[in-house]
Structure 1
């Protein structure tokens, strides 16, 4: 939600100056399906009862959670387009034309700055898209309903950019595809928020659901590692890197946690947010200079352009 509460507003609620209806949100009866969904999401994402009540009373589905849905639909459309064009849905990366698109990040084409973000719309195959899409929708949509498109978009885009830049610094010869950087930023931030507020989180089957989320992340990460070191179909160009996943996790555990923890306060009022944002900005600047100068200074042997 865009109209975040100020510190004084939160204090007024805690002091009883504003009466929130009902003793407990779980005691509300006669709710429609949409209201039950909002209540469920409140217990999924917010650790304090006062926050859950305020969110439940204030949420209106206007605007709807459009950002994550739009990104997911765009990823599916692009995947289907290239699926028909390349005549394959599984392991599209094995096609000689896969990297010829204008979307993936490729080290030979790193001067084309849009590729550091546009690579999220390409996936190595339907198994890659399916896992990313499931985590993106199951975690991203509820988070956007609570925190708004601006905050969730900030975490997502920072994870995407950190992923491609991390690859360009640590896995310098590899291309990058897939939305794992943004997805892992959101999922890592959410899981860390749940762990840090374990007693306050009232969602059902917390431990089981966390275990399932970690299993899904591990399976997807393991698939990416296996693919990276599997003999490429068209050497000398290696298969896509897995380092983008790690870049997303780092963003989620730092910048993402601050964003999700401060539901009731404006981000610009949080000193910890500015510390992490400045560190992130410094990383981006260093990575940009690395991309400009390091490849030639280190005489890196890059694969030919696609």
Structure 2
């Protein structure tokens, strides 16, 4: 009895999809040409037979024998694969839609030219960039803890990677300080924010765009610190984390009319930034506790994330004023970065002596 019931459960969906397939197979020859399928899917009379994300998968992958036609076995195979996407993919899609996905889907004709916008995350390729960076950060942290027996800037990873103002000639330190964290709380907060915010950005905009934003924030953080606080050591991924936060702000501002909860997200991100930077400034300059928190790295990373994010992140609808903003952000970012680099190279007397 149980086996019979299981068989019925399998047969009924197949019959359902056979009926859908027959509806599209207008000449009843058992196959549908892909151009015909594409035209029919755009027709209102065929709307909502197949979920949008499944339609895109069918058009992209279903013609497995490359003969230009879609037959029922190919159609059914694609449907089954999509239904097997599982709870995890659905949860990821809901999370992304709540953060960086707009209210409506844009077609290739409406989009800005950087590719068709996906309102469903397909897990291909997987969003692992921020997770990989976080893993490397944890490895560096554990290396120091194992060697020193405690969190310390004297560990092997910290000694090699930290931004040391007395070793500015070791140029890699302007970037690698992102792997050094002093204290578990410092580490956990940075990892939490960069995964929570970086992963949805990567899922929508692609790993290489997010990587550019993140690294731009890290380098801007160290350059900004070297000029505003020339004697300060710098550790942590806050420059990159703040770049990710600011990149969200850039996405919200550029796609304000299309975004879900745009105002709420803007308020939350601005509040986080103001509270964190304000606390660091108050602690150092008002209370007089010289803990040398690198707030300049936070501000530098945020500024870089905003300027670079405007340039590299996907813009759902390009308006005339946004093109001017795009050029302005390029000029401002390039000017600031060149000025900081030239200052570091050309004015050695401003900085602590190298040793």
The reply to whether TM is greater than 0.5 is yes
Deviation, structure 1 residue 273: 3.8
With over 3 angstroms needed to count, the CA separation of the structure-2 counterparts of 1:282 and 1:75, relative to structure 1, is same
Counterpart selection for 1:101 from 159, 168, 193: 159
1:55 aligned counterpart, secondary structure: coil
Aligned partner of 1:45 in structure 2 is 100
Deviations 1:52-72 (A, max 9, x none): 995135x43121112111100
Deviations 1:82-101 (A, max 9, x none): 12223224xx35xx558961
Counterpart selection for 2:197 from 128, 132, 139: 139
Counterpart selection for 1:259 from 312, 316, 322: 312
Deviation, structure 1 residue 191: 3.2
Is 1:154 the counterpart of 2:212? The answer is: yes
Unaligned runs of 5+ in 2: 1-39, 55-82, 108-115
Aligned partner of 1:84 in structure 2 is 146
Map 1:1-306; keep pairs closer than 5 Å: 18=42, 22=48, 32-33=86-87, 34-51=89-106, 54-56=117-119, 59-89=121-151, 92-93=152-153, 101-194=159-252, 197-198=255-256, 200-203=258-261, 207=264, 213-214=269-270, 216-218=272-274, 220-221=276-277, 224-225=280-281, 226=283, 230-231=289-290, 239=292, 241-260=294-313, 262-263=315-316, 272-296=325-349, 298=350, 300=351, 302=352
With over 3 angstroms needed to count, the CA separation of the structure-2 counterparts of 1:304 and 1:284, relative to structure 1, is closer
Question: What is the rounded CA distance, in whole Å, between the counterparts of 1:101 and 1:150 in structure 2?
Answer: 29
1:276 aligned counterpart, secondary structure: helix
Question: What is the rounded CA distance, in whole Å, between the counterparts of 1:222 and 1:66 in structure 2?
Answer: 32
Question: What is the rounded CA distance, in whole Å, between the counterparts of 2:277 and 2:143 in structure 1?
Answer: 25
With over 3 angstroms needed to count, the CA separation of the structure-2 counterparts of 1:104 and 1:263, relative to structure 1, is farther
Question: What is the rounded CA distance, in whole Å, between the counterparts of 2:141 and 2:48 in structure 1?
Answer: 47
With over 3 angstroms needed to count, the CA separation of the structure-2 counterparts of 1:22 and 1:190, relative to structure 1, is farther
With over 3 angstroms needed to count, the CA separation of the structure-2 counterparts of 1:248 and 1:19, relative to structure 1, is farther
With over 3 angstroms needed to count, the CA separation of the structure-2 counterparts of 1:258 and 1:304, relative to structure 1, is closer
Deviation, structure 1 residue 176: 1.0
Question: What is the rounded CA distance, in whole Å, between the counterparts of 1:186 and 1:81 in structure 2?
Answer: 26
Contact kept? 2:130, 2:198, Cα under 8 Å:
yes
Aligned partner of 2:75 in structure 1 is none
Aligned partner of 2:62 in structure 1 is none
Contact kept? 1:147, 1:263, Cα under 8 Å:
no
With over 3 angstroms needed to count, the CA separation of the structure-2 counterparts of 1:144 and 1:99, relative to structure 1, is closer
Question: What is the rounded CA distance, in whole Å, between the counterparts of 2:148 and 2:279 in structure 1?
Answer: 22
Q: Which has the larger radius of gyration?
A: 2
